[in-house]
Amino acid sequence: MVQYLTLPARLDKAFILSLLVPFGRPMHLRRHAASVILDRVQLIAALFAVLVPLGAVIDLLVFPAPLAWQLVGLRFASAFAFFLLAKKRELSSKHPYRQAMVSLLALLMIPPLFHLCSADALAAASVTQTQLLVAELYAYLPTVVLGGLAIFPLTALETLLLSIPVIATGSISLLFAEQHLSLQQHGGTLWFMSMMLGVAVFSGMSQCHYMASLVLKAMHDPLTGAFTRQSGEEALNLLFRLNAMAEKPLTVAFFDLDRFKSVNDTWGHEAGDRCLCALVNSLRQGLRRSDLLVRWGGEEFIALLPDTPSENVPALLQRLREKGFGLRPDGQPLTASIGIADSHEAGIESWKQLIELADQRMYQAKSAGRDRVVSAQATVSLTPAAEVQRAAET
């Protein structure tokens, strides 16, 4: 199964590394992080697209007309850039994280570039105390941007890399305004920027862990630990598209425990829960790390098998069934009816059609006497365990 961040914040090597660098992060977690980052970029950009032009009133009141209108022009150019970032767009199916990081970098660079374009003129035209105060506030734009990184779920390395162009642009702006940098004059500003960057690093790491914890809880069934149906549908949608682009098969195995209702009716729901957990534990031992197990509903489970032709699946499932899916409360072996479908089969154009076909074949297995695997190639009949059970009953 895919590896996840654990809920407890254990200070082991894997936990610390997951907060420091983004490498090795599971695909579904990267996609969720990308979605969060892109949504926040769009929200912040929408707010600034409205708020930034309103500051033109201050520029017109404080600065002489030529400079004021230059600042107003820069404000509306910035507002237009924010507006473009705020436009709703779908998350890329190929490179969602790259898309999110590019959007975030564009958002971060607008205020420093605004100051870079105005720093020289502000330094030359600021004479009164009010003008000097407003010009100094503009100089803090890169620092404010560094603080803004704190609201995004980023690893320490990502925060540091994103801060480099912001700090570089802010330093160039100071050079334009002052012609030189001195520790005595600018030490306080640099210290403040460092403090804001430190806060952003720790806040981003904290959000990464919190987001991973929430995703882990939301994506997994609390009883069995399998994926929930909602997270399974998201994984199906993504895997179907990725396998289609790579021209590789995606196979689905649809499991339904046989006569499960009788377990609940006779021995109670706790006994039924133990049977479900036994099935999931058995399947996990036989599936690959790249395979996903989804609780589709009640006693129905789906195994997603990427890059696996359907003709290779029955042999795998037969081995699983021979080892057993666990025991019923009366000591008899648990059995399941299983339907298999392959994305390369004729007529399969979406993941929903793939699931429907696997579901139909699962019902065919039940109609044929249960404890069977039905695929496009063949129907595999009773397991040895079931035969032993039938012999004991007769």
Pairing of strands 250-257, 336-342: antiparallel
> 26-49 burial, b for 16+ CB within 10 Å, e for fewer?
eebbebbbbebbbebbbebbbebb
| Catalytic hit among 299, 300, 311, 393 | 299
299 is catalytic: yes
Q: Are 211 and 33 spatial neighbours (Cβ–Cβ below 8 Å)?
A: yes
Q: Are 278 and 327 spatial neighbours (Cβ–Cβ below 8 Å)?
A: yes
Q: Are 34 and 100 spatial neighbours (Cβ–Cβ below 8 Å)?
A: yes
Tokens of 214: 């929430």
Q: What type of residue sits at position 86?
A: A
Instruction: Estimate to the nearest angstrom the gap between the alpha carbon of 7 and the chain centroid.
Output: 16
> Which residues are part of the catalytic machinery?
299
